[in-house]
């Protein structure tokens, strides 16, 4: 059996270490979120997670595109923002938050099928992305599928149990579907 040794250059090693550390930080924060007993406790964790996800770019070009897309989004220039996030996804198809931002934009543009496809990609890359699960519930409601919406919100509460909005949606959907909650 032949053994191969792979030599990794210093800069590549630092980049890999940075990516692994960011992923580790995200997973630690998601574990903390799952244990949070209240929104007061969960709030700072949620803020840190959004910062981690939004800043998970590989280089300054991706960082600039993310910033540009967020500005376009906040200014209500949704088509421009969608184009920017699409470009970012083409450059880095593993940038989870680029997919999530585009999913949000597509939802806002009433492209529910496009939003659904993007959310599915987000959840492939990060199965515990609570924002994507919340979006998934909203998409299924817009598409007239309350059973799938309920499942999305139940998955969300498993990750983010102190999310009062998701708990309320579960109660409402169970009532609507005639599911006994006792």
- Same domain (yes/no): 144, 99: no
What's the rounded Cα separation, in Å, for the pair 118 and 64? 21
What confidence tens digit (pLDDT) does each residue in 1-39 have?
444 444 444 444 334 334 444 578 999 999 999 999 999
Q: What is the per-residue pLDDT for 180? A: 79
Residue range of the domain that includes 138: 127-182
Q: Are 30 and 48 a contacting pair, CB within 8 Å?
A: no
Instruction: Assess if residue 147 is contained within a domain.
Output: yes
Instruction: Assess if residue 34 is contained within a domain.
Output: no
Instruction: Assess if residue 10 is contained within a domain.
Output: no
Q: Minimal CA–CA distance to 148: which of 140, 157, 158, 156?
A: 140
Residue 94 belongs to domain with CATH number: 1.25.40
Q: What is the per-residue pLDDT for 18? A: 40
Instruction: Assess if residue 40 is contained within a domain.
Output: no
Q: What is the per-residue pLDDT for 23? A: 77
Distances (CA, A) of 164 to 21, 37, 148, 154: 30, 11, 19, 12
Which ranges constitute the DSSP H helices of the chain? 10-35, 39-54, 60-74, 78-91, 96-108, 112-125, 130-142, 146-159, 164-177
**Ranges of the chain with pLDDT below 50:** 1-21
Phi, psi of 91 (to 5 degrees): -75, -45
Instruction: Assess if residue 134 is contained within a domain.
Output: yes
Q: Minimal CA–CA distance to 155: which of 176, 177, 140?
A: 140
| Region of residue 4 (phi > 0: left; psi between -120 and 50: alpha; otherwise: beta) | beta
Q: What is the per-residue pLDDT for 13? A: 37
Contact partners, residue 63, CB within 8 Å, separation at least 6: 55, 57
């Amino acid at each position: 059996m032949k053994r191969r040794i792979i030599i990794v250059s210093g800069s590549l090693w630092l980049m890999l270490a940075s990516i692994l550390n960011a992923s580790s930080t995200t997973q630690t924060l998601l574990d903390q979120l799952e244990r949070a007993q209240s929104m007061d406790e969960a709030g700072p964790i949620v803020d840190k997670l959004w910062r981690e996800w939004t800043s998970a770019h590989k280089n300054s070009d991706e960082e600039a595109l993310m910033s540009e897309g967020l500005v376009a989004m906040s200014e209500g220039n949704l088509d421009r923002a969608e184009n920017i996030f699409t470009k970012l996804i083409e450059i880095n198809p593993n940038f989870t938050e680029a997919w999530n931002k585009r999913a949000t934009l597509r939802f806002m543009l009433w492209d529910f099928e496009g939003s659904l496809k993007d959310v599915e990609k987000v959840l492939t890359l990060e199965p515990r992305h609570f924002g994507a699960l919340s979006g998934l519930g909203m998409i299924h409601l817009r598409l007239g599928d309350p059973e799938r919406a309920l499942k999305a919100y139940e998955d969300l509460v498993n990750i983010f149990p102190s999310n009062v909005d998701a708990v309320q949606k579960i109660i409402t959907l169970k009532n609507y579907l005639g599911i006994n909650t006792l």
